[in-house]
Amino acid sequence: MVFNSYTFIAFFIVMLCLYNLPIAWKARKIILLLGSYVFYAAWNPPFILLLWLSTVVDFFVGRALYTQTNVTKKRLLLVLSLIGNLGMLCFFKYGTFLLENFVMLVNLIGIDFSPAKPNIILPAGISFYTFTTLCYTIDMYYKKSEPVKSMLDFSLFVTFFPHLVAGPIVRPPQLVPQFESPRNATMKQMTEGLLLLTLGLFMKVVLADGQLAPTANDIFGNSGAYLALDAWMGVLAFSGQIFFDFAGYSTCAIGVALCLGFVLPENFKYPYAAVGFSDFWRRWHITLSAWLRDYLYIPLGGNRQGQLKTYINLMVTMLLGGLWHGANWTFVVWGGLHGFYLWVEKFIKDKFSRKNAPVDQDIAVAGITASNSSLAFIYALFTFFLINVTWVFFRATTFSQAWTLLSSMFGMSGDVEPALTTLAIIKVSVIISLMVIAHWLMRKSSVLQLALKIPWWFLAIVWALMLMALALSQESSSSFIYFQF
Amino acid sequence: MSSTPLKRPAIAAALLFVLGILAWEFYQRKEGVNISYDDDGPLWAYHRARVYQPADQSTVFIGSSRIKFDLDIDTWESITGDNPVQLACVGSTPLPVLYDLADDPDFKGRLVIDVTEGLFFSTNPGNRARPDKALKYYKDITPAQCASFVLNRGLESTFVFLDREDISLNALMEHWEIPSRPGVFMAPIFPRDFDRVKFDRQEYMGPIFLADTAQINKQRSIWALFASMNKKPPISGAPLDSILQTVKVATDKIQSRGGQILFVRTPSSGPFKEKEAMGFPRDQYWEKILAVTGCPGLHYEDFPEISAYQCPEFSHLSPTDAIDFTKHFIRILQEKQGWKFPKMKSI
């Protein structure tokens, strides 16, 4: 089920009541686990079998990996886990994509092969829970942490409903210890959780679905050329939509977990205030970038094997990171563009960092130094501009559509009719401007810190207005964009 | 500092929210607004799941907006005693729904197909977007969506402010009618009270709309705008024959399972009627449907008692006329088509 639905509100109220019953901790954990399965099965019940399979296999393989002393057997076990997890992901997520590319390839060499198109349904959240279980078995292989003692705790670690279908991607040490002793949300956690839940829903329902999605869909829904203004508004709308959608989900997830007394890791930190791309990936989908860094980039060699290898590792990580987002070459190009930007940034950093000592470490990332914050803001705007270019490949369904839109953005569309209404342009301009300003002002802070700083009556009014906007939006409970990844 | 610093703002926010929403609700009610349901995928899917009742206990209606306005569900239900299922979609061709029912081996019921020629024979993808979306929702529905529908039904039946079509945040902004850039097509905004929707998907014009000549004229001009936008000549020749053949295949499938089908042409008036008669001459379209499919049909012009209605905005009947039309419709079905309603009450 999705957070932005009446079903979830009812489910959450029931879960809160049951979880807070004065019963044994183990019984409360069983309630949480069963609730999490209901949460998942409410989508497509048969896919819960995959979740069980993944949980059971990785629990036992993880334990065996930790205790196994024979290196060959240990490697075999790791391969078993990788094949199990990645095989499932490959089949469900990349099956059709792989087949299409295979067909294209054999057709290119003159073999006439046209198989029936497979009808594979993508299980919700498979990319997320696969990464969650994978990091456990890899940690066990390297003995980075202790194996989880009970099947119940491990199942709950994998399945805990707030993070199950779209993250944040949690690591065992972040969540498993929280299941070991009884937890009850304090009043402070409860109110903070409810504030975050309201904010997350406001971001998703009001801003992403209600105000920005229609404009993004209008522009990306057609493959024709546009005037530069229309093309930019469409891309900016998507830029805002994907942030509010995904950060909204993460904010809801963190808020829901907090209401139950659990702390999930931060996943977004005002990414559109990033100065440079290293900074962006420290602020956007933080748990995924940390996962890719720790389980892909570093095992590939990271920056320890010379400059050339570092550049290659960086690009491989970003290309695979792109492919993780979707089974389409456009996602690979999106990742490649980010890799390229990181290359350029690293090159500048390596060349100039020793000559110009940064004034402010926080904004002087990737070798870009700034003597004052207004210059840093200009760098941030430039980063935002480049990020918008990458979003074109992320959202476009074909390269031809992406090129046409990019041409339109840079005024090379020729003689075309305007497309967007004045109201749509006003909405996008106002929301995106406020979003960028808010990101910049909040870049060193957090929502909860701000909530404690402002007068209580002002917070109450803002909170009530968000609730009112939610009630008046009446958007249907559409899925979160990242569910498809 | 308090150990629970957000407790006070949380309580105050909850109070402000409840007060604000109640004030908004009372204001809308005071303005004369009443309950109207969101006629989107979930409501359509709920009714689509009801088509499997025995043919003598239920009738399924598909088509465009006319059958939704013109057939009064309450009247039909109270007189015939059967359970009508309204599956028509506004501004749409009924063909996707017809094909879906034809391909459903479990549907063996009674089907009334409303023919608004400009939509029925339309090849514009926009005219099949709604039924396609509704069908996709029905086929992909999840247990969570079913549960949300049940909860939403209770809320939508209670609060006027949950009217998505007219009082949602976006609808309110649309009603500002900010002029747009030259060359940008702005979809016209329908008058607020023009198309109200009941839970059974009955559509009707509200009293505020019917009492306001300016609003009625606005709606007439919107229809005129739509008509002027369609520059293509009506479909004819081979493409028309192709559509008719696919319709025949579908109707044959349903009839072969014991299903019963009737085509109906509901009233229009004024300039709308004249333009329809010019664009879609009866002998080239309506008569052809009946001839090709071999199904019975009922054209309002053939029956004096239902041929003289004046549609307020030229295209749909007022609620009062819809009741009258439905009574005559039932009687004609019995007398001319031999339809039987086992639970029938007297008219």
A194 CB within 8 Å of a chain B CB: yes
Task: Give the whole-angstrom CA distance, residue A378 versus residue A440.
Answer: 11
Domain boundaries, chain A: 21-183, 189-484
Query: Are B168 and A472 in contact (CB < 8 Å)?
Result: yes
At A44, is the pLDDT very low, low, confident or very high (cuts 50, 70, 90)?
Answer: confident
Task: Give the whole-angstrom CA distance, residue B84 versus residue B47.
Answer: 10
What is the secondary structure of A198-226 as a DSSP string? HHHHIIIIIIIIIIIHHHHHHHHT--S--
Task: Give the whole-angstrom CA distance, residue A146 versus residue A409.
Answer: 52
> Which of B144, B162, B174 is the closest to A474 by Cβ?
B162
Count how many Cα atoms sit within 13 Å of the Cα of residue A295 in the half-sphere of its side chain: 24
What does each C-alpha distance from A484 to A264, A324, A367 come to in angstroms? 22, 11, 35
Query: Are B21 and A417 in contact (CB < 8 Å)?
Result: no
pLDDT at residue A250 greater than cutoff 80: yes
Q: What is the DSSP letter of B326?
A: H
Residue type, A398: T
Residue type, A26: K
Spatial contact of A280 and A387, defined as CB atoms under 8 Å apart = yes
What is the per-residue pLDDT across A96-115, written as a single tens digit (0 to 9) for each? 788 888 888 888 887 777 77
Strands B110-114, B83-86: pairing kind: unpaired
Smallest CA–CA separation between A450 and chain B, in Å? 11
- In Å, how far from its chain's centre is CA A303? 25
The residue of chain B with its CA nearest to that of A458 is B9
Query: Are A419 and B182 in contact (CB < 8 Å)?
Result: no
What is the per-residue pLDDT across A401-441, written as a single tens digit (0 to 9) for each? 999 999 999 988 778 888 899 999 999 999 999 999 999 99
Q: Give me the residues paired with residue B85 across strands.
A: B60
> Which of A7, A214, A463 is the closest to B13 by Cβ?
A463
Query: Are A468 and B168 in contact (CB < 8 Å)?
Result: no
> Which of B6, B14, B152 is the closest to A6 by Cβ?
B152
Smallest CA–CA separation between A452 and chain B, in Å? 7
**Helices first, then strands: H and E counts in chain B:** 16, 7
In chain A, the N- to C-terminal Cα span, in Å, equals 16
Torsion sign across C-alpha atoms A13, A15, A16, A22: positive
pLDDT value, residue A475: 63
- In Å, how far from its chain's centre is CA B204? 9
Candidates A9, A423, A450, A478: best to mutate against B (most CBs of B within 10 A) is: A423
What is the secondary structure of A271-312 as a DSSP string? GGG-SSHHHHHTTSSHHHHHHHIIIIIHHHTTTSS-HHHHHH
At A483, is the pLDDT very low, low, confident or very high (cuts 50, 70, 90)?
Answer: low
Query: Are B176 and A423 in contact (CB < 8 Å)?
Result: yes
Rounded to the nearest 10°, the torsion over CA B97, B103, B106, B112 is 40
Task: For residue A189, give both structure tokens.
Answer: 């956690």
User: Which residues of chain A lie closer than 8 angstroms to B152, CB-CB?
Assistant: 6
Smallest CA–CA separation between B4 and chain A, in Å? 5
Spatial contact of B1 and A446, defined as CB atoms under 8 Å apart = no
Spatial contact of A216 and A237, defined as CB atoms under 8 Å apart = yes
Task: Give the whole-angstrom CA distance, residue B43 versus residue B45.
Answer: 5
Residue type, A305: Q
Count how many Cα atoms sit within 13 Å of the Cα of residue A286 in the half-sphere of its side chain: 17
pLDDT value, residue A165: 83
Query: Are B38 and A460 in contact (CB < 8 Å)?
Result: no
Smallest CA–CA separation between B164 and chain A, in Å? 6
pLDDT value, residue B345: 65
Average pLDDT score over residue span A18-29: 93
**Catalytic site positions of A:** 325
Radius of gyration for the alpha carbons in chain B, expressed in angstroms and rounded: 22
User: Which residues of chain B lie closer than 8 angstroms to A456, CB-CB?
Assistant: 5, 8-9, 12
pLDDT value, residue B1: 54
Q: Give me the residues paired with residue B83 across strands.
A: B58
Count how many Cα atoms sit within 13 Å of the Cα of residue A239 in the half-sphere of its side chain: 26
Give the number of other Cβ atoms within 10 Å of residue B236's Cβ.
12
Residue type, A445: S
Domain boundaries, chain B: 46-174+194-337
What is the per-residue pLDDT across A218-238, written as a single tens digit (0 to 9) for each? 999 988 889 999 999 999 999
Rounded to the nearest 10°, the torsion over CA A215, A220, A221, A224 is 120
Task: Give the whole-angstrom CA distance, residue A226 versus residue A304.
Answer: 46
CA angle A273, A274, A279 (to 5 degrees): 155
Burial A411-446 (b: 16+ CB within 10 A, else e): eebeeeebbbbebbbebbeebbeebbeebbeebeee
Query: Are B152 and A210 in contact (CB < 8 Å)?
Result: no
Torsion sign across C-alpha atoms B309, B310, B315, B316: negative
**Phi, psi angles (nearest 5°) of residue A410:** -105, 25
B17 CB within 8 Å of a chain A CB: yes
Average pLDDT score over residue span A48-69: 89
Candidates A3, A7, A12: best to mutate against B (most CBs of B within 10 A) is: A7
Spatial contact of A336 and A322, defined as CB atoms under 8 Å apart = yes
User: Which residues of chain B lie closer than 8 angstroms to A211, CB-CB?
Assistant: 170
Higher pLDDT, B168 or A120: B168
- In Å, how far from its chain's centre is CA B172? 23
What is the per-residue pLDDT across A271-295, written as a single tens digit (0 to 9) for each? 999 999 999 999 999 999 999 999 9
> Which residues of chain A from 359 to 418 reach within 8 Å of chain B, CB to CB?
417-418
A191 CB within 8 Å of a chain B CB: yes
pLDDT value, residue A358: 47
Give the number of other Cβ atoms within 10 Å of residue A341's Cβ.
22
For residue A239, give every residue at least 6 positions away whose Cβ sits within 8 Å of its Cβ, in sequence order, or none.
A272, A384, A387, A388, A391, A432
Query: Are B8 and A476 in contact (CB < 8 Å)?
Result: no
Task: Give the whole-angstrom CA distance, residue A246 versus residue A285.
Answer: 9
Spatial contact of B203 and B65, defined as CB atoms under 8 Å apart = yes
Give the number of other Cβ atoms within 10 Å of residue B58's Cβ.
17
> Which of B10, B169, B183 is the closest to A469 by Cβ?
B169
> Which residues of chain A from 211 to 270 reach within 8 Å of chain B, CB to CB?
211, 214
Smallest CA–CA separation between A458 and chain B, in Å? 8
A420 CB within 8 Å of a chain B CB: yes
**B46-174+194-337: CATH topology:** Rossmann fold (3.40.50)
Alpha helices in A306-446 (DSSP H): 307-325, 329-352, 373-395, 399-409, 422-442
From the list A162, A77, A173, the residue with the least C-alpha distance to A128 is A162
Region of B38 (left: φ > 0; alpha: ψ -120 to 50; beta: rest) is beta
B27 CB within 8 Å of a chain A CB: no
What does each C-alpha distance from B138 to A59, A120, B46, B313 come to in angstroms? 38, 19, 8, 32
Task: Give the whole-angstrom CA distance, residue A471 versus residue A475.
Answer: 9
User: Which residues of chain B lie closer than 8 angstroms to A41, CB-CB?
Assistant: 143
> Which residues of chain A from 45 to 84 reach within 8 Å of chain B, CB to CB?
45
Task: Give the whole-angstrom CA distance, residue A361 versus residue B108.
Answer: 73
B126 CB within 8 Å of a chain A CB: no
- The ranges of chain B with pLDDT < 50 are none
Give the 3-state secondary structure of residue B346.
coil
What is the per-residue pLDDT across A321-333, written as a single tens digit (0 to 9) for each? 998 888 889 999 9
SS (H, E, C) B249-299: HHHHHHHHCCCEEEEEECCCCHHHHHHHHHHCCCCCCHHHHHHHHCCCEEE
A473 CB within 8 Å of a chain B CB: yes
At A360, is the pLDDT very low, low, confident or very high (cuts 50, 70, 90)?
Answer: very low
